[in-house]
């Protein structure tokens, strides 16, 4: 089986309600069922909320790399991610970026690009978010997000964001 990194999909995981570390770990296990190869799992990272309502609790973040099944499309994977969020109790409210049990963002689907209602690939802010780049660079340092000229590791190294992330033990 060919597992070239440019054929993988990357999913950012986040939680800031309940046992966030446990939720992210259980979500990793569920994401494994969507992968045609062993899931790449980053460490868990604690981060301050970014662009969230005042008083939002800190997040536990991670990134998973999965090898989509041959029949999978970005749209079908996104639907499965949204179903998984709902399974973990996420209800989309009217307040953007409100606290949530589980947030799954499709960061990249190989080298594909898309600009569709509800799906933009690569994720338009992934290359500017430390809470995404830190775990992405951990599991796929050589991966180049479509439209970028540098790898995840190089983007992280050059990031001038003041965001603070800390690896959880």
Residue 1 has pLDDT above 50, yes or no: no
Check residue 19 and give its pLDDT.
Answer: 97
DSSP line for the chain: ----GGG-EEEEEEE-SSSHHHHHHHHHHHHHTTBSSPPEEPPPEEE--SS--TTPPPEEEEEEEE-B-TT--HHHHHHHHHHHHHHTT----SSTT---S-EEEEEEETT--EEETTEEES-TTGGG-HHHHHHHHHH-TT---TT-SS-HHHHHHH------EEE--
Average pLDDT over residues 88-116: 87
> Does the model's pTM come out above 0.85?
yes
5 pLDDT tier (thresholds 50, 70, 90): confident
pLDDT for residue 2: 40
pLDDT of residue 91: 76
**What is the mean pLDDT of the segment spanning 129-138?**
97
Could you give the domains of the chain? 5-167 (3.30.70.560)
Higher pLDDT pick, 91 / 28 = 28
pLDDT, tens digit (0-9, with 9 covering 90-100), for 29-62: 999 999 999 999 999 999 988 877 788 899 999 9
Q: Active-site residues: which are they?
A: 90, 100, 103, 105
pLDDT at 3 over 60: no
Residue 69 has pLDDT above 70, yes or no: yes
At 84-96, the pLDDT tens digits run 999 998 777 666 6
> What is residue 148's predicted lDDT score, i.e. its pLDDT?
96
């Amino acid at each position: 089986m060919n597992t070239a990194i440019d054929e993988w999909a990357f999913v950012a995981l986040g939680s800031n309600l309940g046992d966030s570390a446990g939720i992210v770990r259980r979500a990793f296990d569920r994401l494994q069922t969507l992968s045609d190869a062993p899931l790449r799992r980053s460490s868990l990272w604690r981060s301050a909320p970014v662009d969230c309502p005042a008083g939002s609790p800190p997040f536990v973040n991670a990134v998973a790399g999965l090898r989509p099944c041959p029949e999978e499309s970005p749209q079908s994977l996104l639907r499965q991610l949204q179903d998984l969020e709902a399974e973990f109790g996420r209800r989309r409210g009217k307040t953007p970026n409100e606290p949530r049990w589980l947030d799954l963002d499709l960061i990249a689907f190989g080298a594909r690009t898309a600009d569709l209602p509800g799906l933009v690939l690569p994720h338009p802010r992934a290359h500017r978010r430390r809470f995404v780049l830190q775990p992405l660079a951990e599991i796929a340092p050589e991966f180049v997000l479509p439209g970028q000229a540098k790898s995840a590791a190089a983007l992280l190294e050059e990031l001038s964001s003041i965001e603070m992330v800390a690896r959880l033990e």
